[in-house]
Amino acid sequence: MSTAMKQPAVVAEPQPDAVQQKGLLRFLTCGSVDDGKSTLIGRLLYASGSLFEDQIDTLAVDSRKSGTQGDDLDFALLLDGLTAEREQGITIDVAYRYFSSPTRKFIVADTPGHEQYTRNMVTGASTADAAIILLDARKGILTQTRRHSYLVSLIGIRHVVLAVNKMDLVNYSQAQFEKLEQDYRNFAARLGIEEITCIPLSALKGDNVTTASEQMPWYHGPTLMQYLDSIDVDIDRLAGASFRMAVQWVNRPNSDFRGYAGLIVSGAVQRGDLVRVLPSGRTTHIADIVSCDGDDVAVAGQSVTLTLTDEVDISRGDVICAADAPAEVADQFEGTIVWMHEQPMMRGRSYLLKIGARTVTATISPIKYKVNVNTLEEIAANHLELNEIGVCGIELDRAIAFDPYDVNPHMGGFILIDRLTNNTVGAGLIHFALRRSQNVHWQAIDVNKRAHAAQKNQKPCVLWFTGLSGSGKSTVANLLEKRLFAMGRHSYLLDGDNVRHGLNKDLGFKDSDRVENIRRVAEVAKLMVDAGLITLVSFISPFRSERRMARDLMEDGEFIEVFMDTPLAVAESRDPKGLYRKARRGEISNFTGIDSPYEAPEHPEFRVDTTTLSAEEAVESILNELTRRGLLV
Amino acid sequence: MHAKRHKSLTHLERLESESIHIMREVVAEADNPVMMYSVGKDSSVMLHLAMKAFDPSPPPFPLLHVDTTWKFREMYAFRDATAKRLGMDLIVHQNPDGLAMDISPFTHGSAMHTDIMKTQGLKQALDHYKFDAAFGGARRDEEKSRAKERVFSFRSTQHRWDPKNQRPELWQLYNTRKSKGESIRVFPLSNWTERDVWQYIQQERIPIVSLYLAKPRPVVRRDGVLIMVDDDRMPLAPGEQPQMLKVRFRTLGCYPLTAAVESDADTLDLVIEETLASRTSERQGRVIDTDSAGSMEKKKQEGYF
Ligand SMILES: Nc1nc2c(ncn2[C@@H]2O[C@H](COP(=O)(O)OP(=O)(O)O)[C@@H](O)[C@H]2O)c(=O)[nH]1
């Protein structure tokens, strides 16, 4: 034992030959329930020697227990994961499996054929080089087959295999296979998939999976395994495109070194290359590739750290590109969005958008149409539900560098994040810029915000009053403005009712209209703050995420959320405009507090308890708070 | 124009790149990351990748070892030597409640030992240092239920894992946003298999604990598995005699809970050869897994890594 303590570490002798150098291919399997997907993956794992004895033993026991395959192994049992799912007898979600051939390592994204899981399939497809679409030879092309094929083409998978399974159940019939192949090719022609290969197989018996089938001598194409070994990997294709790398992290160990760390998503780079940094557009040269193991070229798929010859201001999220073929820069796009959350996507609502290493604020402008994934029909829509796919306009709060998704998925694919729950709620593909911002710069106005404020000798801000109808917003806001006016302050009060008569008269009270209502008011408030005004906004503004959006439009410290905290019963008993009575009688619908929710602020800057304070007292305490915050100097 | 601008990356290069990308993403977006360091081969690979990811800076996070006090002695020596060699900060946490109770896998059983010293210990350490992101070396190929685990796994303020509420991960875009008090477990080696790990160790010449190599060691056979008698805390049954057998370990944990395998593979090459030819999964060497079906899942929901 004591000798062991003397040599606790071992270091490998360099034996480069012993390390098998393989490529890496990622693929996706999709099919309807019971088409044989689990059986197929199980067989691939088994045939490639990726299953261990103990796994096989367990499988043999399980197989006998379930008794579906006599004494044979039931590979379908191998792939179940989570207990609850196992009990339901179905796989939901994406699971990843691993196996290798002598030349390649494979990562399989296993996604279910279930109706409602567009989200999972898109997730699995987003990293795949190829897709296997399973078909039951007896059943032919089903609605699900069409849907899977559409999603695969949407995500831009370039290699598709139509795996016609259960050939053993149709007597290995050539005619049946050829009919299905023809049907499928006719349908898929509309989708523009680059390359389709059709393989007849039996996952259960093993025909044409890893060994050529003796039952189907008429088939001369590759086995599934041969096919997977031979197709090209997408990152190799991208290596031939123009250089792109999003800066993930700036490496500054000391003042002498400044490196930019990131993953090269297309092209190649070497010392001396002229590069352009976006969105700024500055150009410089590559000084060195730091983490490149001695090679002086780095290619797509590698994580590297680059140093540059000039001191350029670069931060996380900027994109370093080939100078002669840079990415585009824009802040408005048309793109496709796949919605992934139970809470629907609404036009006008803002979300965080992450693309590459950059996160910006995005607002969904008109939804052009949504797509029926079964029929490919285009349907008008003003929101997207879970698993729906739509083409829409997307506006960002700042310009980003991008390439269209079908040119480079890593430069044109993004996710949408809910600002409050932080959930990933959508995935999107940029098609093209709606307005090129390459040459459009924000007009550098000489009389700027600071000048406006200085002239009025005040600090502009937004006092955002939120609360139920009848909570006292307008009363307090009015009184406060009078006081400010008397103090010689320049202010303006935006009141819900008044704005709805003019600017927002086209909007009703549906959730999507409420979102748009607040968006417009927030933008107007922002302009008023720009003009140097103390801006009072008195709107019910029932949704947290819109108030959050309004807050994010302003600079730090400029947004003061005043929560008029009044219990519904109290507001209802005041009922100054008789609206609650009407709502109770069902004469108005979507009334906040009655049949439309009010989401109270969690951390308002100021809370007014209107059951204990008079309006005058409330105004007094708000003024004190403004002074305390240095806004009334 | 340019010399060789095209090359196809090997699977190890691709995996390495992906892991580095994940680590950098965490460092750029988390407030206070930490790397779980368990001294095993996966930790060794993960640490090596971290050195590469941030070079020439040192990795901008400390290492955390949640110590059950029952690891092999060689592991402790290796752990301290490694942290020193690489100049990394090493935090060692032992659950003080467990120490007070003198928890031992022999007297309290493996389930309770693991829960108190590992699961509770980990939660304590994360809470105490307010780490909001913790790298772990788990791989999806290790166990059935891991196959569906995300690279970024979100835990509630109580460190619970909710398999129904995991975020989809698309392309190479990771949503790292979280609410106050929530934390993320990040698994940069998700897509690596045991073979990949061994091949990478060989290719990169990464130091590992010599327990992975076969050598005569004192062992006893219990319930059909070989357990090494690493120190005198191990109670021997009447008449039970440790015997010297040439053994090695495929995974490392608490010595009383880790099964040795008889082997002649006393060089790394031989170990790799044996592993590549092996027909049993490495988890067989972990006594804690054999409790009940889906046991790992239950542990995970309770906050086990
Ligand atoms: N005859 C025959 N049966 C198959 C074949 N492939 C799968 N099956 C059976 O079809 C059923 C569903 O298979 P499974 O792999 O669970 O389908 P999944 O739902 O797509 O994963 C099981 O009973 C399989 O044994 C095949 O090629 N031929």
A605 has a pLDDT exceeding 60: yes
Eight-state DSSP code of residue A361: E
pLDDT > 70 in chain B, percent: 88
Assess contact for A103 and A225: CB atoms under 8 A.
no
End-to-end alpha-carbon separation of chain A, Å? Answer: 75
pTM of the model: 0.78
Assess contact for A592 and A598: CB atoms under 8 A.
yes
Note the pLDDT of residue A208.
96
More confident residue, A196 or B304: A196
Q: Which of A101, A350, A471, A541 is catalytic?
A: A541
Mean pLDDT in residue range B226-251: 89
Note the pLDDT of residue A80.
56
Assess contact for B136 and B63: CB atoms under 8 A.
no
A631 has a pLDDT exceeding 90: no
Note the pLDDT of residue A501.
81
Residue that has been written with the tokens 């059983």 in this structure: B109
Note the pLDDT of residue B288.
44
Residues A52, B278: C-beta atoms closer than 8 Å: yes
- Sheet of A606-609, strands arranged across: A491-495, A534-538, A461-466, A559-565, A606-609
Whole-number Å distance between alpha carbons of A596 and A615: 27
Residues A301, B9: C-beta atoms closer than 8 Å: yes
Predicted complex ipTM: 0.89
Tally of residues, chain A: 633
Mean pLDDT in residue range A473-502: 88
Neighbours of A507 (CB within 10 A): 18
Note the pLDDT of residue A5.
38
Whole-number Å distance between alpha carbons of B151 and B168: 10
Under DSSP, is residue A69 helix (H, G, I), strand (E, B) or coil?
coil
Residue that has been written with the tokens 């408030």 in this structure: A525
Measured from the CA of A201, which atom of ligand 1 is nearest?
A: 27
Ligand 1 surroundings by CB, under 6 angstroms: A 31, 33-39, 68, 76, 165-166, 168-169, 202-204
Maximum average pLDDT range among A226-230, A382-386, A576-580:
A226-230
A394 has a pLDDT exceeding 50: yes
Note the pLDDT of residue A438.
47
**pLDDT tens-digit series, residues B263-294:** 999 998 898 888 777 666 665 555 544 444 34
Strand partners, A231: none
Q: Is A66 a catalytic residue?
A: no
A232 has a pLDDT exceeding 60: yes
**pLDDT tens-digit series, residues A428-451:** 999 999 875 544 333 334 678 888
**pLDDT tens-digit series, residues A407-424:** 999 999 999 999 888 999
Best residue of A41, A54, A82, A119 to probe chain B, by most B CBs closer than 10 Å: A82
Residue A57 touches partner B, C-beta closer than 8 Å? no
B132 has a pLDDT exceeding 80: yes
| Closest listed residue to residue A74, CA positions, set A38, A118, A109 | A38
Note the pLDDT of residue A311.
87
Tally of residues, chain B: 305
Note the pLDDT of residue A362.
94
Note the pLDDT of residue A309.
94
- Confidence class for position A461, pLDDT limits 50, 70, 90: very high
Whole-number Å distance between alpha carbons of A81 and B297: 9
Note the pLDDT of residue A9.
56
Amino acid at A65: K
As a whole number, the mean pLDDT across chain A is 87
Whole-number Å distance between alpha carbons of A597 and A600: 9
Residues B191, A104: C-beta atoms closer than 8 Å: no
Pocket test for ligand 1, best of A32, A34, A164 (most atoms within 8 A of CB): A34
A142 has a pLDDT exceeding 80: yes
Assess contact for B261 and B248: CB atoms under 8 A.
yes
Note the pLDDT of residue A436.
55
pLDDT > 90 in chain A, percent: 53
Residue A76 touches partner B, C-beta closer than 8 Å? no
**pLDDT tens-digit series, residues A297-339:** 999 999 999 999 998 889 999 999 999 999 999 999 999 999 9
Neighbours of A574 (CB within 10 A): 16
Mean pLDDT in residue range A265-278: 94
**pLDDT tens-digit series, residues B7-21:** 789 999 999 999 999
Q: Alpha carbon A290 to chain centroid distance?
A: 31
Note the pLDDT of residue A63.
75
Half-sphere exposure of A558 (CA within 13 A, CB side): 26
DSSP B176-234: ----TT-EEEE-TTTT--HHHHHHHHHHHT--EEGGGS-EEEEEEEETTEEEE--STTS
- Confidence class for position B6, pLDDT limits 50, 70, 90: low
Element (H, E) at A247: strand A244-254
- Confidence class for position B237, pLDDT limits 50, 70, 90: confident
Neighbours of A124 (CB within 10 A): 30
Alpha-carbon distances of A604 from A37, A328, A565, A607, rounded to whole Å: 52, 40, 11, 6
A470 has a pLDDT exceeding 70: yes
State both tokens at A482.
């009078």
**Secondary structure tally for chain B: helices H, strands E:** 10, 11
Assess contact for B91 and B124: CB atoms under 8 A.
no
Give φ, ψ of A87 to 5 degrees: -65, -40
Strand partners, A283: A276
Q: Which of A166-180, A360-374, B266-280 has the lowest mean pLDDT?
A: B266-280
Mean pLDDT in residue range A6-26: 60
- CB-nearest partner of B11 from A10, A23, A303: A23
The burial class, CB within 10 Å (0-12 / 13-18 / 19+), for B241 is exposed
